[in-house]
Structure 1
Amino acid sequence: MTPGTHPTGTARAAFPALGTTAAVLVTEPEALPVAESVLRAEVAAVDRACSRFRPDSELTRVNVRAGSPTTVGQYFAEALGAALHAARITDGAVDPTVGRAVLALGYDRTFASVRPDDARPLPVARPAPGWQRIVFDPRTRRLHLPPRTHLDLGATAKAHAAERAARRAAERSGCGVLVSLGGDLATAGPAPRGGWRVGLVDDHTEPATAGTPCVAVSGGALATSGVRVRTWRRSGRTVHHIVDPATGACPAPTWRTVSVAAADCVDANAAATAAVVLGERAPAWLGAAALPARLTGIDGGVSCLGGWPQDVAPLAPGGAR
């Protein structure tokens, strides 16, 4: 999923961040420096608090102290709150206690450094400890993880950062803003005429082309999760970064990508990731949640639910910028 052709009068800035691409679009070009500054500050904050790959991040400190109570900072508390919210609304299909399972698959360093073909045998998969075992008081910010539990806030922290950045950039600039962090898009303020055009691609780094399906987003958020981009081979089999908390292993491949629209980016991200985990059960679950969604199967077949347009319009020639 990638922002599509720029509506007339808008401006865009983008830069590498969090192992992906951060982008911001504004409806008033003169507001772009302010909006970009807000996004860069937000990216730096979420990286300091929630990175699995920084020895000085707060997440690293929290995981080292698993089994003992600790007090966390305000930003980390908000990110953890978003992760626990995602666990609740997905009935545990998205669970922040999958950290050790993700490490066991070989995702123990930045994705650019992950061995593309790791010959080491896969360890026996074990269910995640479970988000319900986390003891956290958001008022005092006191946290107690079960022993040997590692948190992974990756996806929800990124979505939370996108939501915060869009809201703050709109407040400071006084115009409409779209923020994209990888597959997570959040909007705030008035949308451009006709909405923000978003191309639906497996890999957000791929440029949208004339035939790329596209939707117009006038508000809220849109998130895409999939199993085509962050993949590698381990002991002769293909694995990816999404883990089923119930098993500690990658879920059986059913959906190549899932895009979900929601009022909030964390909700959209949680639902899209949960759909990948739930596999064949995803359409019924998304239908019960009444969330617009587009599911692309491993075979390329597309299913649209909850009012998602069945006939998405292609991007105009030129695609994304």
Structure 2
Amino acid sequence: MTPQTTSNRTPTAVTFPALGTTAVLLVTDPCALPAAEAVLRSELAAIDATCSRFRPDSELARVNLAAGTPVTVSEPFAEALHVALRAAELTGGAVDPTVGRAVIALGYDRTFVSVRPEDARPLPVARPAPGWHRVVWNPRARRLRLPPGTSLDLGATAKALASDHAARRAAAATGCGALVSLGGDLAVAGRPPAGGWRIALSDDHAAPSPGRSPVVSVTAGALATSGTSVRSWRRAGRALHHIVDPATGEPAAVIWRTATVAAATCVDANTAATAAIVLGGDAVDWLRRTGLPARLVGVDGSVMQVGGWRDDAIAPARDACPAAIPGGPR
């Protein structure tokens, strides 16, 4: 997804690498950019120190090393864990933070830019994730016990959480409209530019084709895109990607190249988009029951739109995935 600047008052932007992807910040007041950027960089530093799989000094690394033993976690980690466990519950385990060991076993054991594009090592036997329901969590005391041998991966939901936090904080600190995008996880806050934030949709985060990519206008809430092509590699002759099906420990079957979802928060949009990739053929019915607008692109390039989604239209910001959905079809 690429924000466009087509309003009468052109937003001011800054782009830089972060969290193994690209951070994009737009504000409607050029004078507010330095303050908004400071907010975004603060949020990124905090989420990286708390939830990074690739830093041996992160809190997540400490928690994973202590699997089998109760530990007390910080308030930021508790929030990130709550978000991840809620995503697992709402999706019936399709998005499950206990896939850490499975992701590492596939070869995604370092920042993606360092993953070998061609890896001749044999693949270990895949095993299902331990399951989010086996995590013992006392939110009041912030006491956590992971099952022995379990590694959490909070990457997807934590990145979306950072987008939500940064957009809200930047808008509050500057009094203007703000858009934050972290590798396909996009959140907006404050007063938008005239006509809304114009977002060009791309296929698997590739650069949109001018004049040919669909465009939506976002006035509030969030969009998130999950896909199977960009973060992909080969190992032992097999094509692999980073979205793991917790039920098998294998990369999710590639039914959809991309899933883009609109929701009130980036966390909810990301949860639903990732679930759609994992659910594959069941995704359309599941998304319809959430009521969230979504756009799915199949491996053959065919497009499926559900929940009132229309290209070249306002993407409505809907409520979060309703807890009334009994965990989806899994």
TM-score interval for Structure 1 and Structure 2 normalised by the shorter chain: over 0.9
Give the 5 Å matches for 1:148-227: 148-204=149-205, 206=207, 208-227=209-228
Q: Structure 2: how far apart are the matches of 1:165 and 1:112?
A: 24
Tell me: CA distance 1:219–1:83, structure 2 relative to 1, closer, same or farther (3 Å).
Answer: same
The one-letter code matched in structure 2 to 1:138 is: P
Tell me: CA distance 1:119–1:181, structure 2 relative to 1, closer, same or farther (3 Å).
Answer: same
* Aligned: 1:268 with 2:269: yes
For the 8 Å contact 1:4–1:208, the answer to whether it is kept is no
Cα deviation, residue 138, structure 1: 1.7
Match for residue 2 of structure 1? 2
Match for residue 57 of structure 1? 58
Structure 1, 133-142 or 158-167: larger mean CA deviation: 133-142
Q: Structure 2: how far apart are the matches of 1:169 and 1:310?
A: 28
For 1:216-240, what per-residue CA distance to the aligned partner results, in whole angstroms no more than 9, with x for missing partners?
0011010000001000001101000
* Aligned: 1:80 with 2:81: yes
Match for residue 320 of structure 2? none
Cα deviation, residue 120, structure 1: 1.1
The one-letter code matched in structure 1 to 2:276 is: A
Cα deviation, residue 8, structure 1: 3.2
Match for residue 147 of structure 1? 148
Tell me: CA distance 1:297–1:207, structure 2 relative to 1, closer, same or farther (3 Å).
Answer: closer
Give the 5 Å matches for 1:1-321: 1-9=1-9, 10-204=11-205, 206=207, 208-310=209-311
Aligned length: 313
Q: Which segments of structure 1 move beyond 6 Å, counting only runs of 4 or more?
A: none
Identity %: 66
Tell me: CA distance 1:39–1:20, structure 2 relative to 1, closer, same or farther (3 Å).
Answer: same
Cα deviation, residue 206, structure 1: 2.1
Q: Structure 2: how far apart are the matches of 1:25 and 1:142?
A: 38
Q: Structure 1: how far apart are the matches of 2:35 and 2:117?
A: 39
Unaligned runs of 5+ in 2: 315-330
Q: Structure 1: how far apart are the matches of 2:214 and 2:52?
A: 33
The one-letter code matched in structure 1 to 2:200 is: G
TM-score, normalised via structure 2 length: 0.92
Unaligned runs of 5+ in 1: 314-321
For the 8 Å contact 2:226–2:273, the answer to whether it is kept is yes
Q: Secondary structure at the match of 1:201?
A: coil
For the 8 Å contact 1:202–1:229, the answer to whether it is kept is no
Match for residue 328 of structure 2? none
TM-score, normalised via structure 1 length: 0.95
